[in-house]
Amino acid sequence: MRRKRILFLLTRAPYASARAVETLESVQVAGVFEQEVSVLFKGAGVYQLLEGQEGSAVGQRTVGKILSALPEYDVERIFVCGPSMQRFGIEEADLCVAAQRLDQAEQRDLLAGQDAVVTG
Amino acid sequence: MVISIAVHGAPYASQASRSALRFAECALARGHAVHRIFFYHEGVLAAGSHGVAPQDEEDVHAGWVSLQESHGVELAACIANSLKRGMLDAGERDRYEKPSATVHPRFTLVGLGQLVDAIATSDRFVTFAA
């Protein structure tokens, strides 16, 4: 399979819908298939990164645990939208995985460098 | 150009499926190749053959089936997303001992590897989100 640069853009809050978990499943598979995967959390998607999640309390898988395991799928490039963090009052110390904080210009550059962008 | 398309929204709840169908028809009319339509999230509900479209609305499911029959476009629904939403083909009906198959035979249930393959092998990958 051809190797492509694929950015997954995660914009949905976890637990309100299945979007976060289902999109992260495709992130894992893209990693397994040796694609050059990047993940950007933006908008309400930054809530997926919060530490101390317990999905079982609401009958769901824990998104934070899926994120922590992404390196096992060779997904190492994790980015987060700085202005979104600010908007939702989230600090870097609140995050459950190390994500590189990007401003708007840096996000434009990240998107411009991709072969495909998948929104979720 | 080789194009693949992802459909994330449920038919009738979202415009995603209709927009994707129109886009696919236009791309084919312009001479592009449509490699695969990948139905994901609630988008998998477009594969269901048991829905009855309102008389004054376009039948989205029938539109997809017609596209497949006339152009041979692959209609692929994520199997994991399909099963939990009650979308079963005959094989899955038997495997899980459910009363009936709900997926139209022109659709195939596939793994997420087919999503990654669609991205990797197409010149453009276009998502119709909900």
Distance from CA of A109 to the nearest CA of B (A): 19
Task: With a cut of 50, list the residues of chain B below it in pLDDT.
Answer: none
ipTM summary value: 0.93
User: Is B120 close to A22, i.e. CB distance below 8 A?
Assistant: no
Angle at A114 between CA A51 and CA B37, to 5 degrees: 90
Question: Which residues of chain B are within 8 Å of residue A10 when distances are taken between CB atoms?
Answer: none
User: Residue A56 has which token pair?
Assistant: 């079982």
Helix (H, G, I), strand (E, B) or coil at B107: strand
Contacts of B3 (CB under 8 A, 6+ apart): B24, B27, B32, B33, B34, B35, B122, B123, B124, B125, B126
Q: What is the pLDDT of residues B91-113, one digit of tens each?
A: 999 999 999 999 999 999 999 99
Distances (CA, A) of B22 to B19, B105, B106: 5, 22, 18
What would the CATH number be for the domain defined by A5-119?
A: 3.40.1260.10
CATH (one of 3.90.1150.10, 3.30.1540.20, 3.40.720.10, 3.40.1260.10) for B2-128: 3.40.1260.10
Q: Is B33 helix (H, G, I), strand (E, B) or coil?
A: strand
What are the residue ranges in chain A where pLDDT is below 70? none
> Which of B81, B113, B129 has its CB closest to that of A119?
B129
> What percent of chain A has pLDDT above 90?
98
Q: Which uninterrupted H or E stretch holds A79?
A: strand A77-81
Distance in Å, alpha carbon of A92 to nearest chain B alpha carbon:
29
Over residues A78-95, the pLDDT tens digits come to 999 999 999 999 999 999
> How far B24 CA lies from chain A's nearest CA (Å)?
18
List chain A domain ranges. Answer: 5-119
> CB–CB of B80 and A25 under 8 A?
yes
Q: Report CB contact under 8 Å: A26, B40.
A: yes
